[in-house]
Structure 1
Amino acid sequence: MKEGLKYNTPWILQRADPYVYLHSDGWYYFTASVPAYDGIVLRRARSLEELPDAPETEIWHKHDTGNMSEHIWAPELHYLDRKWYLYYAAGDREDVWAIRPYVLECCDEDPITGTWRERGIMQCADNDEFSFHGFSLDATVFENRGRYYYVWAEKVGVGKQISNLYIAELETPYKLKTIQVLLTTPDYPWERVGFWVNEGPAAIKKDGRIFLTYSASETGTAYCMGMLSADVDSDLLDPLSWNKERLPVLASEEACGIYGPGHNSFTKDKQGNDIMVYHARTEKEIIGDPLYNPNRHAMLMQVKWNEKGFPVFRIA
């Protein structure tokens, strides 16, 4: 019999950008960036406790050349219009930093044994001249009031570019309906360590509000998590509908041996508790380039809620 969940400690080793999807049939699906950045893996289990020991299957491998041949990053599994979709980012072997968002589609009931079809690069709205022309990654999808929204990070500017978060409504699972809207740019010092970064968005709703967490700064110990929030009845494509927290909502806790927490997703355990799935390191000193150091581990945290109805993310 599996023991209970342990929080804020390595849960699945060397799996960065972790994403857990709980399907309507009760199965939990897990995917993440693998250290080699060379493919997309899936595993499933009946509970979060069982996922670490569940067999892992590579359902798609990078191309040898051209688009989708390098830096396969941050896959997310979604079930939309009775089909499975994987959203992920990838580069080009001839231009490894030409990172763009791509989509895979599976029409079969089982996403692990089913056939995955490449839908190619995410398509922008017909009158959008801006989206996905630069370094773009970390897309997520969420539903609100019957509409589906796509949120992603994209770099803009010249020289040392800035990574912002944008939102648009979906027309189809692989095409935007509306032009991008800027949600947040790195405004504060804690978002500007090493690189000016907002990335890795994830949405959770409760009691009439939607909360959008994101990650900031470089991928080492400075990596941390910020948050936006909006009323579910507001116009989510209006930047003024969103409120940005002045300080990070989660950061390194040296006393607990947790460094660089971020790039999270949300799910629920079998008891209905809100669970955050995130990655973090357990060592302060990182060997080599933090981006290629494999020791970002998937971890779990039970989300608490304060008297104002806002989520509280606490390691200690």
Structure 2
Amino acid sequence: MRVLLTGSSGWLGSALAPRLRHLGHEVIGLDPVPSAETQVVGSIADRDLVLRTVSENGIEAIIHSGALHKPDIERYQNTDFIVTNVQGTLNLLDAAVASGVQRFVFTSTTSLMISQAIRDGFKGGARKAAWLTEEMSPEPRNIYGVSKLSAEHLCRLHHLQHGLPVVVLRTARFFPEADDLAYAIEQSDANTKANELLFRRLTVEDAAEAHVAALEKAPSLGFDIFIISAPTPFRPDDCAELIADAPAVVARCFPDYPRLYARKGWTMFSSIDRVYDPSRARERLGFVCKTGFADVLRALEAEA
């Protein structure tokens, strides 16, 4: 297929473009930042550019991973998020309909699922961790989340009105930057990311593979939304103890973790405030992340 990939110069795009080409797809990258993976330098907010790029290149599928992200909140205005994340998505959806594109994959975020109430509950002593699935009604706490949820609604609308097959992937954290949460302050970056694989992280390679799976399944799914995160060993019944004593829960699931962590000088979060449940992606999309917390422990064991 001829695939338009937005965000082609970014962390995900740089991993996804080669993977798509390896599978035999022709990839046209669109990004404001020049790179080896970007053939069209420009913004998705430029409606004429988007319409022209899709029509002139005979695009058959669109993977829309380009966006302003949560860290950009400090550098951009609210209107910038609306122009890029909402209007930009609308431009791509309209171009898809106008040119007869057969499938559309949208990179969304689990961040939009964390309301201010959930954040405040963790800071103020919540009684149990939040167990998060696609069935909940999101109440985003910042402009990033609002813009991504609005874009999701536009995706659904274009499916309903035009029959465009769209798969929305709410990806957990996979970026390389250090965590910005208070409970990660006392841990190294590698330690923090290892811990997060239990409940809110995946590798960029797995993120890319999820998009490949969504691209393949979009026509048969019609419209669907999936949480994409490494498989969690936890269950809903663990949520109270995850707040009170997360290391004890992790030790039940992985008895060797205390020994391996101690040898490395790592520690587990004392409390875990949320768990993203990716089981719907396994059941309906047929996708499961290849890398999880058990892989981290195997690597630590191998270091001996």
**TM-score per shorter chain, which class?**
under 0.3
Higher relative contact order (CA 8 A, sep 6+): 2
Please give the TM-score of this superposition, normalised by the length of structure 1. 0.27
Choose between structure 1 and 2: higher helix proportion: 2
TM-score of the pair, normalised by structure 2: 0.28
Of Structure 1 and Structure 2, the greater strand share is in 1
